[in-house]
Structure 1
Amino acid sequence: MSNKKKSITLTDIAAAAGVTPMTVSRVVNQNGYVSAETRENVLQVVKEMKYRPNGLARSLKLQKTKTIGLVLGDIANPFAAELARAVRDVTTRRGYNLFICISEHNPKEDVAAFDSLADHNIDGLIVATRSNHAGDKHLTEMIERGVRVVCIGRDFHHENADWVSADNHKGGFQATQHLIDFGHTKIGFIGTSLAGGASLKRFQGYLDALKNNDLEIEERFISGGTATEDAPGYSTEKLGYEAMKRLLVLPNRPTAIFARNDFTAIGAMSAIKESGLRIPQDVAIVGFDDIPMAVHTSPPLTTIRQPTRRQGSIAAESLLKRIESNEPLKREEKVLECELIVRDSTSTQVN
């Protein structure tokens, strides 16, 4: 004999509340007119009977699951958490649930995350990982199957996928120019290699600032691993520490560093201080993102502030617009301005 409890139905609630099943449906689904007194009565019965709506049945009827997928990269970086909060704030306010998947190490994780979310019949997908061939191909296939997609920062181009990003190239240029304005001519970059940074806009901004000021691009000043087509190449605190250690032992070493992100900069700062050097008197450093802890480092970190929450909010609103539209929408691209935030890690003029 089965001990499985019978599921409560709208008919059961209607009988207990003394109303029709249609009235219960209107209250539960929040559509159609029901008097305040009747609504309160039905909700009380729903609570007493511990009724839980059947989400699967509702999604089959409406052809929507009210769920959104979000794929993030380096979750150790506070940037990812801030982005997720911004997306969640919008989706929750609009009645959607948010599923989050992580893809940190290789394109296979990208594909696995996309497939996992697709298996849950998500209504749309926000992707905030770095572009790679396998992942981009999979995204294209998902769009052609009808999944709505918006990318944050990822270099993915499809006429039916929106894109939002900070102006990473301009931010990288500003960071490097700031160091040049303080008199630095030997400026290193931590976060990629010269060969692997072709698609990294912050790095390209760094290179362009050097060229614009007739400064030599020294490959030995560029440290931090490689970013190939088959690897996202995220830049971490550990990478920043190890790369800075390598730069510090160079003859005629850099006097200033532009780190790919604040997390990487914090690792580099640890290596500088561990070596007995001072920031910024011996080595100046600039990060990128302006994560909350940037103002609490010692000394406080000069950085490029990117509008993280705005990117997440815009991406979520764009995706919901696509989901709720009955007409096909053209691709929209939005590039958001960054801001140089000057703190004590660059406050000394070079002689």
Structure 2
Amino acid sequence: MARKIKPVSISSIAAELGVSPSAVSRAINNRAGVSEETRRRVGVLLEKYRFRPAYPASRLPRVAVVTGSAHLAPYSASVLSGICRYVCGGTISAAALVVPESGRGRLLDLVRDQQCSAVILIVPACFAADFPVLSASGLPVMLVDETVVFPGSGYIDNDSRTGSLEAARYLIGLGHRRIGYIVSRSATSNHRERFDAYREALAEAGIGFDPALAVSGIEGGGEMEFGFRAMRKLLSRGKPFTALMATNDEIALGAISAAREAGLRIPADLSVIGFDDNAFSAFIDPPLTTVRHDAEQAGFLAARAVDEYLQSGKPLPREILPTRLVVRSSCRAPRQGRE
């Protein structure tokens, strides 16, 4: 008969070391009244048994992680994954709040209902009406995917301008001169930067911006549906173009579907570039050329920032993460005579 293995506990660690359970508890919680040698020995056994004390959630500061119901997209999921990775460290807890449009303007009440000590906003532009109240509340607020600054806030964003410039220059370098653009409905500063950088790249190459090759403002549906409908609208204008940029990969995927509906081949007839490098982007047909930034790391850093603020008062950061172009199979040089 197999010997029953006893679970590891503070008491079992204390018995193995020949000290009291209270001494082990003080060592784990970094409290006074225990020698450095005992702390070291406790640490060795914690590592050996991979032991984590179970703290009641009420003992940990709680952070509200907020996103809008319209933004439960692969990007937001990646940010949430990074936040969860940090929260698993056991120094803060998190309450996820998916707030519909009807809840905007009263976000502070929702946060207080959850007894939260800090806020992380994912795709925060849709909560702009709540910024003044959040600022006045004194709660630390971290923004992910935005660079708006107000008292008590910090942000983690990506270098959208550089990424979009690199993407547009890549298409121009392939020989494209007529490049369309689908602008996301999200009114975030980095989405505006992506569109502005596209226009900047055209200008530096001596290519005039044609408003008929840009689409925005289509309402309703998710990002893929928006991309599909925007591409249909772009094609209906009758203006020829050989390449397309989109402010995110979901829009690009919807646009590819509409292009194929119209009989266009990707990339033989139309080159397409997205932005974000979502998990699906390498596995669609053809694999999507896009701009990568680390949304998961952005979530991790945002969670760490609010934890450090709550623990020590360390100022919230204002940080821009790098991007890079990922070249796959959705782009090629235009056919001769179609530049």
Please state whether the residue corresponding to 1:72 is helix, strand or coil. Answer: strand
State the one-letter code of the partner of 1:218: D
Whole-Å Cα distance in 1 between the matches of residues 97 and 316 of structure 2? 24
**Alignment partner, residue 297 of structure 1:** 284
Within 5 Å, which residues of 2 pair with 1:137-156?
138-156=130-148
Q: Name whichever of 201-210 and 249-258 sits farther off.
A: 249-258
Whole-Å Cα distance in 1 between the matches of residues 63 and 330 of structure 2? 40
**Alignment partner, residue 332 of structure 1:** 317
**Alignment partner, residue 44 of structure 1:** none
State the one-letter code of the partner of 2:321: L
Q: Does 1:281 align with 2:268?
A: yes
Task: Give the fraction of aligned pairs with identical amino acids, expressed as a percent.
Answer: 24
Alpha-carbon distance change, 305 to 27 in structure 1, aligned in 2, over 3 angstroms: same
Please state whether the residue corresponding to 1:127 is helix, strand or coil. Answer: strand
Gap runs ≥5 in structure 2: 1-20, 39-53
Q: Deviations over 1:277-318 (max 9, x none)?
A: 111111110000001110111111000001111211111111
**Alignment partner, residue 270 of structure 1:** 257
Whole-Å Cα distance in 1 between the matches of residues 188 and 144 of structure 2? 21
Whole-Å Cα distance in 1 between the matches of residues 260 and 124 of structure 2? 31
CA contact (8 A) 1:75 1:81 kept: no
Whole-Å Cα distance in 1 between the matches of residues 309 and 94 of structure 2? 16
Alpha-carbon distance change, 143 to 299 in structure 1, aligned in 2, over 3 angstroms: same
User: Which of 238, 241, 259 lines up with 1:254 in the alignment?
Assistant: 241
**Alignment partner, residue 99 of structure 1:** 95
Whole-Å Cα distance in 1 between the matches of residues 189 and 169 of structure 2? 19
Alpha-carbon distance change, 258 to 151 in structure 1, aligned in 2, over 3 angstroms: same
CA contact (8 A) 2:179 2:241 kept: yes
Alpha-carbon distance change, 29 to 310 in structure 1, aligned in 2, over 3 angstroms: same
Alpha-carbon distance change, 55 to 346 in structure 1, aligned in 2, over 3 angstroms: closer
Within 5 Å, which residues of 2 pair with 1:160-171?
160-171=152-163
Q: Does 1:117 align with 2:111?
A: yes
Whole-Å Cα distance in 1 between the matches of residues 189 and 85 of structure 2? 33
**Alignment partner, residue 236 of structure 1:** 223
1:221: Cα distance to partner? Answer: 1.0
Q: Name whichever of 68-77 and 79-88 sits farther off.
A: 68-77
Alpha-carbon distance change, 253 to 112 in structure 1, aligned in 2, over 3 angstroms: farther
Q: Does 1:174 align with 2:166?
A: yes
Whole-Å Cα distance in 1 between the matches of residues 264 and 146 of structure 2? 37
CA contact (8 A) 2:74 2:278 kept: yes
**Alignment partner, residue 80 of structure 2:** 84
- Count of aligned residue pairs for this structure pair: 297
1:198: Cα distance to partner? Answer: 9.8
CA contact (8 A) 1:103 1:129 kept: no
Instruction: Tell me the TM-score normalized by structure 1.
Output: 0.74
Whole-Å Cα distance in 1 between the matches of residues 55 and 119 of structure 2? 24
Instruction: Tell me the TM-score normalized by structure 2.
Output: 0.77
**Alignment partner, residue 346 of structure 1:** 331
Alpha-carbon distance change, 217 to 138 in structure 1, aligned in 2, over 3 angstroms: same
Whole-Å Cα distance in 1 between the matches of residues 166 and 149 of structure 2? 26
Gap runs ≥5 in structure 1: 1-22, 36-51, 59-64, 228-232
Please state whether the residue corresponding to 2:206 is helix, strand or coil. Answer: coil
Whole-Å Cα distance in 2 between the matches of residues 29 and 139 of structure 1? 41
1:114: Cα distance to partner? Answer: 4.0
1:153: Cα distance to partner? Answer: 1.9
CA contact (8 A) 1:295 1:301 kept: yes
Q: Does 1:205 align with 2:190?
A: no
Q: Cα RMSD between the aligned structures?
A: 3.3
State the one-letter code of the partner of 1:168: S
Structure 1 stretches of 4+ with a deviation exceeding 6 A read: 195-199
CA contact (8 A) 1:262 1:294 kept: yes
User: Which of 301, 308, 325 lines up with 1:314 in the alignment?
Assistant: 301
Whole-Å Cα distance in 2 between the matches of residues 308 and 184 of structure 1? 30
